[in-house]
Structure 1
């Protein structure tokens, strides 16, 4: 008898599940639908819904995340959007939409809910070149934005046989070379120089930053594959060398002249002077910030105007406060934000977002580049970091460093970004 009861229960339970499974709209309203663009959540003041098996989302919220301008005509109830390539037009309650003047029939029409226009997400996203996936288990829409033109800077520094910048970039052991991964970067930041407190420009340093034998071959190969080059001067303030340097006008002038002369071999200069402003009182911190700005001004005045000046700086939410982002951005062409070393891997998204938002209050987005520490990221988390650069309209990303970029990460770079020269962006 118990077996018969169990059988009857299973039959009715199966019928119930199958019946409820076909009633998607009713079920969907009880679930929270999440939308992720490049792994980053999209915030809505009116939640997305599912109608007739299609996800509808507030139009403006998604368009802003994808940086697609939107126009709304209240009288005609028509909304239009264009990214300069694709143009779409939709009308409330009308299943007929237009993509570049081609008529498209939607499965469900746009609608108004709580004062917000909701549109079919897949139509909008795919019209602008996005890849859209629906995760039924988690009720999540995952969108990967289209490739974006931006600068991709690869830091080139000494490694070993396993982490060779040359091999990772050019695809063959030195001195052989091929196209390799050169199609996935636009510039090289060549970490070959350091300094001392007296203003000497060094090609060898105790920190391992030095110019290798055969360095001319790197420049020749970079030119062959149309890669811009900047000479990187790196130092840390652990022994107060930078602090002493920037407190002496004579030392600053000496170093600036040496850099300007050496920069004739490159497209520009990249200063990576780290460690300023740690645990300094307000008066001393102000002095440090002013001295560093003064040095950047001296260097800028001595550089050939055709050379770019890039500053690689600690993130504004780091412990190092010796960098006046606003004053520095008025002098330099670009600032690379080292938004990493927060203590966990992958780097926490909230900290990276905070760093970008703080920097953007003082520096135009087109002058900002997101620094990414490649060994601390996975292929998936790299896509999200690139997505942050896209969402905030930054001019590019910088990879620390070549030699540490995995095959999967190279593929993510190729799919997410179209590398372009700084001058093409500028």
Structure 2
């Protein structure tokens, strides 16, 4: 008997708290709607005249920022558009020059070229690497080349999209190739892994390396 009475009062207390919470939430929402409707620009959020930060107040507070954004959009629209410079009409589609620290590299037989499938510049590895003071070794049985420069050692394999840089396996979208008995490698991949900067000048079709 006493147990049932105790359970009754517990349930009654539980639903009383739920009802009180709903009443408080409803009163809060009503006050927000009322405050927004009665908002006056002279009112200060938190004061008796305007006890809540309303949507009208937020809109007014962000008005200067919105004005500034529109001004920036106008200035951006007025900036001159970039127009790419077309390459010389007498330039060959595959003609590529390589410069290292301002000096043009001479290629006596096989010239550098751009692979149209990958859009990568391929260069004869020995001419370029020896021009920067790197040592090149070729292992014909494994179709593998080794580049060494200071504390960097790079291994590459013909036809494979992978290389080892100081023991770490790295990948490239352009494998090394053999063209006219010359090992051709992607210029940017090997130059940057040796710590050099590479810039491409499209109008003159020149790759510039800074060591």
Aligned-pair CA distance for 1:124: 1.2
**Are the aligned partners of 1:29 and 1:50 in contact in 2 as well (CA < 8 Å)?**
no
Pairs within 5 Å for 1:231-242? none
CA offset at residue 29 of structure 1?
6.5
State the secondary structure of the residue aligned to 1:108.
Answer: coil
Query: Does structure 1 residue 100 correspond to structure 2 residue 166?
Result: yes
For residue 71 of structure 1, what is the aligned residue in structure 2? 137
Cα distance in structure 2, aligned partners of 1:116 and 1:31:
17
Q: Does 1:57 align with 2:120?
A: no
Q: For residues 124-172 of structure 1, give each alpha carbon's deviation from its aligned partner in whole angstroms, at most 9, with x where no partner exists.
A: 1111111100111110000001xxxxxxxxxxxxxxxxxxxxxxxxxxx
Q: Shift in Å at residue 123 of structure 1? A: 1.2
Residue 109 of structure 2 is aligned to residue 43 of structure 1: no
1:11-68 CA deviation, whole Å, 9 max, x = no partner?
Answer: xxxxxxxxxx9xxxxxx96341000000000011211111111101000000110010
Q: Is the 8 A contact 2:94 2:114 kept in 1?
A: no
CA distance in structure 2 between the partners assigned to 1:29 and 1:57 by the alignment: 16
2:180 counterpart residue number: 114
C-alpha contact (below 8 Å) 1:29/1:49 kept by paired residues: no
Asked if residue 30 in structure 1 is aligned to residue 96 in structure 2, the reply is no
Match for residue 202 of structure 2? 136
The number of equivalent residue pairs is 119
- Partners of 1:29 and 1:97 in 2: how far apart? 31
Which residue in the other structure is 2:5 paired with?
none
Mapping of 1:398-417 within 5 angstroms? none
Q: TM-score, normalised by structure 1?
A: 0.27
Give me the CA root mean square deviation: 1.6
Query: Runs of at least 4 residues of structure 1 off by over 6 A?
Result: none
> Structure 2 length normalisation: TM-score?
0.54
The alignment status of 1:125 with 2:155, answered yes or no, reads no
- Return 5+ residue gaps in structure 2 as ranges: 1-85
- Evaluate the alpha carbon distance shift between residue 64 and residue 42 of structure 1 in structure 2; reply closer, same or farther with a 3 A threshold: same
Q: How does 1:161-172 map to 2 (within 5 A)?
A: none
Larger radius of gyration: 2
